[in-house]
Amino acid sequence: MRFWSLNAAVLGLALAASAGAHAMENQKFVYRAASLDLPDFLTEGRLFLDPEMAFGNWFGGGVTVGDWDRDGYNDIFISSFLADPDGVENAGAIYVFLGPDFTETERITALPEPEEGDNFGMQIEFADMNGDSSQDLVTTCLRSRWVSSDESLTMDQAGSFRIVWGPDYAGGIRLFDEYPEAGATLGRGLAAADFNMDGNMDLAIGGIGAYGALGKVIFRYGPDFNEQSEILSPIIENGMRFGVSLAAGDWNADGYVDLIAGADKVSSESGLDKAGQVQIWLGPDYREDQVIIFEESNPEVDRNFGASVDFGDLTGDGVPDLVVGISNAKWENKSWVGQVQIYPGPDYEEMIELNSPIREENSIFGSEIKIADVNGDGCSDLVVGEYYATVDGLSMAGRAWLFLGVKTEVETWSLF
């Protein structure tokens, strides 16, 4: 793994949830490392399918974990952000698979009614955003249309984000970029944390189409989320898609929240086009002259390293790990198979591969990733989206996977 630091700068809508039917057959598989090449700290995989499966839904685009129905069990949120709920084209929907067995689902869509082309559910977070001790649902809408207050100006595909307030999830807010831009697609990346350390939860949101697809990340500060600031990549390359993925955590163990941001179509340090990288922005100042650049040891052209990212203790040693999705990882000359790479902390020098149990061309395993203790056993688990996969002959229907974790000593990790 190659690290390098830059020492100088280079340039409201009401919502609610509607109950869905039982999930369609979500199959459970038990794999061992010997048969699936799973790392030793992940021992079981479970397949999740779209309860309303259809061509082009892109199920697995957004994933998160939390106790939606407040029954003491964690639930899994998985979006189909191009779904057509109630016949509204590409409006998007989120499906909550209810724990502990995940066989029943609830569907969440926007009210007063789903909007055509909105892409509701592109990214999802579930956290207490207003300090009332209830978990709130945060979701982005990648292609929302911005309309000026006098309706004289519109901007297509500007993107927006929504917060649905718990505990009843009957209302919420919808906000746009303070400086909206047509085609900015705000909401491709999303992370929730107290970035400015004032005791309130904040949001970091990536807009990959901003500034000629250079991309940007905005911070919206709680508790009202009206104040905004933004950061731009210290590396300037049109089409690099800075902010395509976001995560938060304390990278350098200094007590401040750091921001991890993917730029999956930027060239490598050696000049390989669209190799991709991950940038670590150190809190609390998030200065571009302190950014750490993280890329593959052997980058490849058009690999798209950094398409998804998360940061947390997946390996069970008490130290956070970096987990990165690669859109165009190839397998047996097949393109866009996808892959997840795990970099154990604290040095992030070794790499562990995680591949789809069903390796297929044009499936993009790792389209989204989430580290969380799903089953409450004290071990971190990993939820992985595969949103481009063909399922039952339906291309781009998508699927998702849950890999359960176990406590394992560092010395027993299986590197491959």
Confidence category of residue 18, pLDDT binned at 50, 70, 90: very low
- pLDDT, tens only, 89-114: 999 999 999 999 999 999 999 977 89
- Cα 389 from Cα 343, distance rounded (Å): 25
Residue 372 is classified by DSSP as: E
For residues 301-320, average pLDDT: 96
Q: Which residues contact 376 (CB under 8 A, 6 or more apart)?
A: 73, 74
The DSSP bridge partners found for residue 325 are 308, 340
Give Cα 228 distance to the centre of its chain: 21
Q: Virtual CA dihedral for 143, 190, 313, 305, nearest 10 degrees?
A: 60
Q: Which residues contact 183 (CB under 8 A, 6 or more apart)?
A: 156, 157, 158, 209
Whether pTM exceeds 0.85 = yes
The reported pLDDT for the residue numbered 189 is 98
Q: How many residues would you count in the chain?
A: 416
Q: What is the DSSP string of 68-104?
A: TT-SSS-EEEEEETT--GGG-TT--EEEEE-TTT--E
pLDDT of 360 strictly over 50: yes
For residues 253-268, average pLDDT: 97
